[in-house]
């Protein structure tokens, strides 16, 4: 099963340097030198380096959107705000970064991830969820390298809208979602649930396309533009 490429192009992405910050106590920089620029590089490997197999379908916990929010209400009363994590897995094709997305049906796309258990660490929870979603089935342990946090999104109410900030009138958000950059190894085998397709979507296809991909996925080009990509 080959991952599908949503589109093709070639373009570059700018580098971004950080500015030194000043300590309020003594006026000294918190960083070793404010003149040093941070050049955060990410290695991207070709899509063709990866093998994609199939495994049994992976179904959502809830049969419908209303039942999902009903369960969220019940859990909020017991354990508080839901915490969820998603992984951003990058490859390159034709000199452009692509994001691996799970496609359900013809119009729904999602990043691999899901809900954390009560008290579960975010990084370890994401590794567990990535293994459940894309982990191989031959008994060989999959190693996931979880790196930068590239996004924080908040659900203020028991409703679909999520925002990259907490609205000022919200004191108890109902969900906090963190997006992590996952550094893929040079070669890997992924097992994709039969009820999903794995799609490699180029950044230009996602940019400003919330109608097609939703606000979180369509914001990934902006979140990722601070990195310098090295094509291996």
CA distance 213 to 109: 6
Write out pLDDT tens, residues 127-161.
Answer: 999 999 999 888 788 899 999 999 999 999 999 99
CA distance 101 to 97: 13
CA distance 85 to 177: 5
User: Which superfamily does CATH assign the domain made up of 41-231 to?
Assistant: Nucleoside Triphosphate Pyrophosphohydrolase (3.90.79.10)
Residue 200 φ/ψ, nearest 5 degrees = -100, 105
User: Does residue 77 register a pLDDT over 70?
Assistant: yes
Write out pLDDT tens, residues 52-63.
Answer: 999 999 888 888
% the chain with pLDDT above 70: 84
CA distance 43 to 52: 20
Domain extents in the chain = 41-231
Q: Collapsing DSSP states into helix, strand and coil, what is residue 116?
A: coil
pTM score, two decimals? 0.82
Write out pLDDT tens, residues 31-42.
Answer: 444 433 477 889
């Amino acid at each position: 099963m080959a991952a599908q490429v949503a589109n093709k192009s070639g373009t570059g992405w700018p580098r971004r340097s950080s500015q030194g910050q000043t300590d309020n106590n003594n006026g000294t920089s918190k960083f070793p030198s404010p003149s040093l620029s941070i050049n955060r590089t990410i290695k991207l490997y070709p899509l063709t380096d990866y093998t994609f197999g199939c495994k049994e379908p992976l179904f959502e916990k809830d049969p419908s959107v209303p039942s999902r929010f009903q369960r969220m209400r019940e859990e909020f009363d017991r354990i508080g705000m839901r915490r969820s994590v998603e992984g951003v897995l990058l490859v390159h094709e034709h000199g452009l970064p692509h994001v691996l997305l799970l496609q359900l049906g013809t119009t729904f796309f999602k990043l691999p991830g899901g809900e954390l258990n009560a008290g579960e660490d975010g990084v370890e929870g994401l590794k567990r969820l990535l293994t459940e979603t894309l982990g191989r089935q031959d008994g060989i342990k999959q190693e996931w390298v979880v790196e930068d946090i590239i996004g924080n999104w908040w659900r203020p109410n028991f409703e679909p809208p999520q925002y990259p900030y907490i609205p000022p009138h919200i004191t108890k958000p109902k969900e906090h979602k963190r997006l992590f950059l996952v550094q893929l190894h040079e070669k890997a085998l992924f097992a994709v649930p039969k009820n999903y397709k794995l799609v490699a979507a180029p950044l230009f296809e996602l940019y400003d396309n919330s109608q097609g991909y939703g606000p979180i996925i369509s914001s990934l080009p902006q979140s990722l533009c601070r990195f310098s990509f090295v094509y291996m």
